[in-house]
Amino acid sequence: MKYADAGVNIAVADDAKQRIRHHASRTFTPGVLGGIGSFGALFALDRKKWKEPVLVSSADGVGTKLKVAMAMAVHSTVGGDLVNHCVNDILVQGAEPLFFLDYLAMGKLDPQVVEPWFFGCHKDCSSQLDQFRPGNQARALDHGR
């Protein structure tokens, strides 16, 4: 079985990654190891700054805001909302947000939707976090219809 047999278009996914690569690389700090497009992210913690580090992470979703974005065909705002949800969850625990790792699932991967969504994430990451690590994009057959 090939990815295409399951409805996955690798060329479209590659197009989406190319559209966001420049935005992502502008948020990288010296702690970033590697680029975008892998299934995980590597971050080297500055052991001079953090003597006894405790990492705090957050995963969140934008729920109903995503339905509104789809109805209005405005996707640039929900990415920032997602970043801010996670940043707030980390800040209320007294921690410093160091990076953001995304996951995007769509019924059909559309680079013209991915790019503005990602730009919203990037814009808020640039002002709130050291870096943004674009993670995985997936086709979710029951989403986005």
Element of type H or E holding 106: strand 99-106
The pLDDT, as a whole number, for residue 126 is: 67
Q: Domains in the chain, start-ordered, CATH in brackets? A: 3-36+54-139 (3.30.1330.10)
Q: Is the pTM of this model over 0.75?
A: no
Q: Are the beta carbons of 108 and 143 closer than 8 angstroms?
A: no
Q: What is the CA radius of gyration of the chain?
A: 16
| Residue 3: both structure tokens together | 């990815």
**pLDDT tens figures, 100-126:** 777 777 788 888 888 888 888 877 776
Q: Does 128 have pLDDT greater than 70?
A: no
The pLDDT, as a whole number, for residue 92 is: 94
